[in-house]
Amino acid sequence: MPISTPCYKYPARSFHLPQQYPSIMTWNNLPTELHLAVARFLPPQDTRALSRTSRSSYNLLVPQIFSDVTISSRSALRSFATHVPARYGTHIRCLSICTKPAERALVQEVDCTEDLATILATCSYLQSLSLSLAASLDASTITPVFATLTTVQKFEIGCWGQEETTPVSERIAVSLAASLPSLTHLTLSRVTRSALHVDNCSPPGVPLVLNDHDVPSHPILGEELCIPSLLKLPTLKSLDLRDVWIDCDENMSMQGKLAQLESISLSGSMYRDGEVESKACLAWLRACGPVLRSFETGIPLGESQPSTCLGKDRMAAEDESIASPLPILTDFHVDAERVALDDLLPMLNILTALCAAQDPFTRECASDEFEDWQDTIEQLLTSNEWNSLKSVELNFGQGAQRLWSL
């Protein structure tokens, strides 16, 4: 027999929600804080789609949409400079620009300096800037704009095209970097050296820029707009030279107060002369000074060769070597795609010469695929003790890295 449930009757009452609490909660009724919280989890394409649903959503999401801007071609640069309101520039924090020509372009595209200057002049809160240039820039036009970018800390400039036909001169790259008053991290990618800063003994086949003498003198660096002069920038902490020819820096000597550089990366160049490039790499390490702690390289470092200088020149070279020792590194990274296994032991011998004996390494075991590298490293470590090096990293390409934490 089913059990009946007692039925209780109450007098009917009507409930009225206050006007500030609507009975149906919709997207438009949500507070602004929830709108922004939801938008933070959306991918960029969904954020842009949401901004097109209403005027209020568009106004709310504009700062997020324009916080990270990527411009992928010369024509896109012209369109952005022409059609995007200048007031949106204040929202841009990260800006990446490539000036490659449009596909199947029927006419030669004009210089992009004016459009680039127009956009940068509006970016009063920009923090990170990346330029991949298919052609050089007018230094006299663009450099004053860079001086107004007081909040940029990270800057990358490189060549999109061929160095032989459309190079990016080191004089322009250095002038732009030196104009950024808050620059801390700088990357130069396939930047071409200037004939004004290279001696006449440069080997054939190495591309040089010949027509950059019109780059104006810089207030900080003067006429010395060569890549080693970057070490004079007072705010610079990290420098990355990717596929940049450095053989001409073999005898570089820096005078005066230098930057407190903490990290440097030298990948090497396809135009390398092995022995000369190795000496140039060591010259860079000495010039960086004792504050340098992290060093990443794709350049094999050979044993130091006796100086070929004679008389006073040889004495001056020896004095320079003594006065500018290598820094005591704490992090050492090797690009194993560029450095052969046989070069590893001499490299580590050079870098360990300055490390006094304290505690032995605590090593991680390498996987079976890297047995040869493991054996070579452990052979060295069993006969040496270190007090400053904290890690050794070998890069075997994407998805294949090995890190020894010491």
Same domain flag for 351 and 203:
no
Residue 399 has pLDDT above 90, yes or no: no
Residue 297 has pLDDT above 60, yes or no: yes
pLDDT greater at residue 43 or residue 135: 135
Same domain flag for 98 and 162:
yes
Same domain flag for 57 and 120:
no
272: confidence class by pLDDT, cuts 50, 70, 90 = confident
- Local structure of residue 147 (DSSP, 8 states): T
184: confidence class by pLDDT, cuts 50, 70, 90 = very high
Same domain flag for 223 and 361:
no
Long-range contacts of 300-306 (CB under 8 A, 24+ apart): 300/274, 300/339, 300/340, 300/343, 300/346, 300/347, 301/343, 301/346, 301/347, 301/350, 301/351, 302/274, 302/275, 302/278, 302/343, 302/346, 303/346, 303/349, 303/350, 304/350, 305/275, 305/279
Q: Tokens for 162? A: 């061929």
The domain containing residue 57 runs over which residues?
33-65
Same domain flag for 129 and 86:
yes
Q: Give how many domains the chain has, as a whole number.
A: 3
Same domain flag for 171 and 226:
yes
DSSP line for 252-268: ----S------EEEE--
Same domain flag for 60 and 84:
no
pLDDT greater at residue 252 or residue 363: 252
Same domain flag for 120 and 158:
yes
Segment 259-271 mean pLDDT: 90
| Residue 405 included in any domain | yes
Look-up: residue for tokens 């001086």? Answer: 147
Same domain flag for 59 and 89:
no
| Residue 269 included in any domain | yes
Domain end (from 65, 83, 118): 65
| Residue 7 included in any domain | no
Same domain flag for 148 and 232:
yes
pTM: 0.75
| Residue 322 included in any domain | no
Nearest residue to 338 via CA among 265, 391, 250, 283: 265
| Residue 2 included in any domain | no
pLDDT digits (tens, 9 = 90+) for 369-381: 456 666 666 666 5
pLDDT digits (tens, 9 = 90+) for 12-30: 555 454 555 555 667 667 7
Segment 190-202 mean pLDDT: 86
| Residue 205 included in any domain | yes
Measured CA to CA, the distance from residue 68 to residue 64 in angstroms comes to 8
| Residue 400 included in any domain | yes
**The domain that contains 150 carries what CATH number?**
3.80.10
Same domain flag for 40 and 127:
no
Residue 2 has pLDDT above 60, yes or no: no
Segment 137-165 mean pLDDT: 94
Residue 225 has pLDDT above 90, yes or no: yes
Q: Which of 43-47, 126-130, 295-299, 364-368 shows the highest mean pLDDT?
A: 126-130
Same domain flag for 256 and 156:
yes
pLDDT digits (tens, 9 = 90+) for 313-343: 433 444 444 445 667 788 888 888 888 777 8
| Residue 266 included in any domain | yes
Supply the pLDDT for residue 170.
96
Of 63-72, 357-366, 392-401, where does mean pLDDT reach its minimum? 357-366
Segment 75-100 mean pLDDT: 94
Supply the pLDDT for residue 143.
94
